[in-house]
Amino acid sequence: DVKVTQSSRYLVKRTGEKVFLECVQDMDHENMFWYRQDPGLGLRLIYFSYDVKMKEKGDIPEGYSVSREKKERFSLILESASTNQTSMYLCASSAPRDYNYGYTFGSGTRLTVV
Amino acid sequence: EDKVVQSPLSLVVHEGDTVTLNCSYEVTNFRSLLWYKQEKKAPTFLFMLTSSGIEKKSGRLSSILDKKELFSILNITATQTGDSAIYLCAVEDGSSNTGKLIFGQGTTLQVKP
């Protein structure tokens, strides 16, 4: 069964900490995405990557960076965590032209910044 | 600015009821519209729609797209408590090959016994 795995289900971090959220997929997908999900706002795109070492900003990249050194791994970095980054973070992957299945999502990381 | 709007934002029904969830969109380069169901964990894929007027069905769920009026509906008949979830609508941005999805706010459905 295809999988997108996010390293942590729940995280609690302090304001100002550097936070790493890891995502690994085993489907050899080219595209990977990081979204955050907040009540009433739906899923908002933070960053995406369409190839190793390639990245593009999404709609809300401020305060975040990403790294994709290997095809299967896409990391989201909060350089200095703030309370307004408390949210559910979802990673997803897809293959170009894979019109039958859209994204495959990870189970999410619920991050609380205190 | 591209956007996807879902309505209602939340809905409470009783088992056996039929529900209709709405999704309207304004996306410059429309490629497809997708529906997902999200329970406690990862959203799971329900439907992908690319052509107007062709209904897609899976059991008690069905969906249809109207590309002229720029909306889609998701119908659930004979609802069960297991249908309680957040239903997400997303439109694929066709301006690149990355398959970027633009999501609506989601509709939270609660089905009471």
**Does A1 lie at the interface with B, CB-CB under 8 angstroms?**
no
Q: List B residues 18-77 in contact with A (Cβ-Cβ < 8 A).
A: 32, 34, 36, 41-45, 48, 50
CB–CB contact B98 A50 (8 Å)? yes
Tell me the shortest Cα–Cα distance from B13 to chain A, in angstroms. Answer: 20
**What percent of chain B shows pLDDT beyond 70?**
97
User: For residue A94, what pLDDT is reported?
Assistant: 87
Phi-psi category of A64—alpha, beta or left, where left has phi over 0 and alpha has psi -120 to 50? beta
CB–CB contact A102 B6 (8 Å)? no
C-alpha of A41 from chain center: 17
**Does A20 lie at the interface with B, CB-CB under 8 angstroms?**
no
C-alpha of B42 from chain center: 15
CB–CB contact A35 B6 (8 Å)? no
Residues on chain B touching A42 (C-beta within 8 angstroms)? 4, 6, 88, 103-106
**Does A42 lie at the interface with B, CB-CB under 8 angstroms?**
yes
Alpha carbon distance A72, A68 (integer Å): 8
User: For residue A109, what pLDDT is reported?
Assistant: 95
Instruction: Kindly report, residue by residue over B77-97, the tens digit of the pLDDT.
Output: 999 999 999 999 999 988 876
Instruction: Give the nearest partner residue to B105 out of A33, A40, A103, using CB atoms.
Output: A40
Q: Which residue of B has its CA nearest to A92?
A: B42
The Cα-based distances of A71 to A52, A53, A61 in angstroms read 5, 9, 21
Q: What is the mean pLDDT of residues A5-33?
A: 94
Instruction: Kindly report, residue by residue over B8-26, the tens digit of the pLDDT.
Output: 999 999 999 999 999 999 9
User: For residue B1, what pLDDT is reported?
Assistant: 86
Instruction: Give the nearest partner residue to B100 out of A48, A107, A108, using CB atoms.
Output: A48
Alpha carbon distance A45, B100 (integer Å): 9
Inter-chain CB pairs, A–B, below 8 Å: 69
